[in-house]
């Protein structure tokens, strides 16, 4: 991997964005490496949970804008391919059976903020700079809005993208954008502890929990209860077969 570090600690895989001089900005290479590595972790039967973090001072400063000059209307295929890649990355977290926990400190801005909250769980430092500054640069917080608006109220989501003001850890926690806020030095350790707990559960039960969770999240009550009912029947049958 050119820009991504991979380390396994038991059943937990740590994926570290590794462009520290660029605050781990997402260029095409890193975006593709991360997408491929998340899919690989999901296929690996030895891995039960994933932690996503960043090397150096930041989690991820968003898209690498130095690539934008090459993505022009004169190159429609390149523009479309890059947009498709970004979309696939932000979608893959909800498609995986394995839970992913983000360990976020320093800058988590734009696409980096979107990446942090696309994970199933998020641990942020007290001093994190989390936000969507795209409008300050004359661009749009585009793909990342889909996850944002599903995780906070509409007024709060629009405030984040319209005012472009960053939040610290407590501010992100108050909006429901992370699960834990800890001092900088404890961010990765806390995320690993959570991942190790998750990795100790039955992989089948965990995968079913995650699939059911993402299915019911956007359903009305009746269809959502049907999803739960189907999972209930399946798990009872699985437990009986296991006991036999």
Could you list the active site residues?
134
CB proximity list for 13: less than 8 A, separation 6 or greater? 6, 7, 41, 44, 47, 49, 50, 51
The alpha carbon of residue 137 and the mean position of all alpha carbons in its chain are separated, in whole angstroms, by 24
Domain carrying residue 103: 4-199
| Whether 216 and 138 share a structural domain | no
Identify the CA nearest to 6 among candidates 26, 28, 29, 36: 36
| Whether 174 and 101 share a structural domain | yes
Q: Are 28 and 85 in contact (CB under 8 A)?
A: yes
| Whether 35 and 97 share a structural domain | yes
| Whether 75 and 174 share a structural domain | yes
Question: What's the CATH code of the domain at 63?
Answer: 3.90.226.10
The rounded distance, in Å, linking the Cα atoms of 131 and 133 is: 6
- Give Rg (Cα) of the chain: 18
The rounded distance, in Å, linking the Cα atoms of 15 and 135 is: 30
| Whether 182 and 208 share a structural domain | no
| Whether 35 and 20 share a structural domain | yes
Whole-model pTM: value is: 0.91
φ, ψ of residue 30 to 5 degrees: the values are -65, -40
Q: pLDDT tens-digit profile of 15-67? A: 999 999 999 999 999 999 999 999 999 999 999 999 999 999 999 999 998 87
* Average pLDDT for the chain: 92
Per-residue pLDDT averaged across 141-164, rounded? 94
pLDDT at 179 over 70: yes
* Banded model confidence at residue 239, pLDDT cuts 50, 70, 90: low
| Whether 185 and 238 share a structural domain | no
Q: pLDDT tens-digit profile of 181-227? A: 999 999 999 999 999 999 999 999 999 999 999 988 888 888 888 88
pLDDT at 173 over 80: yes
| Whether 217 and 130 share a structural domain | no
| Whether 83 and 112 share a structural domain | yes
pLDDT reported for residue 217: 85
| Whether 33 and 78 share a structural domain | yes
| Whether 128 and 230 share a structural domain | no
**Total tally of structural domains belonging to the chain:** 2
Helices (H), 48-129: 76-95, 111-118
pLDDT reported for residue 230: 81
| Whether 180 and 235 share a structural domain | no
């Amino acid at each position: 991997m050119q820009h991504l570090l991979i380390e396994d600690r038991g059943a937990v895989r740590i994926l570290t964005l590794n462009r520290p001089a660029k605050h781990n900005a997402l260029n095409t290479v890193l975006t593709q490496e991360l997408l491929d590595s998340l899919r690989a972790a999901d296929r690996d039967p030895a891995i039960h949970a994933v932690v996503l973090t960043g090397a150096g001072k930041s989690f991820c400063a968003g898209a690498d804008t130095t690539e934008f000059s090459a993505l022009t209307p004169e190159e429609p295929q390149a523009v479309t391919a890059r947009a498709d890649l970004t979309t696939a990355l932000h979608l893959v977290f909800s498609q995986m059976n394995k839970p992913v926990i983000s360990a976020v400190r320093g800058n988590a801005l734009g696409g980096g903020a979107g990446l942090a909250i696309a994970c199933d769980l998020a641990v942020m430092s007290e001093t994190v700079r989390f936000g969507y500054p795209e409008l300050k640069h004359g661009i749009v917080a585009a793909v990342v809005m889909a996850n944002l608006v599903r995780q906070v109220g509409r007024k709060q989501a629009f405030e984040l993208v319209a005012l472009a003001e960053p939040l610290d850890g407590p501010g992100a926690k108050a909006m429901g954008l992370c699960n834990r806020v800890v001092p900088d030095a404890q961010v990765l350790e806390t995320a690993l502890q959570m991942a190790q707990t998750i990795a100790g559960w039955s992989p089948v039960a965990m995968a079913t929990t995650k699939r059911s969770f993402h299915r019911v999240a956007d359903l009305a009550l009746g269809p959502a209860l049907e999803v739960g009912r189907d999972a209930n029947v399946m798990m009872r049958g699985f437990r009986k077969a296991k006991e036999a």
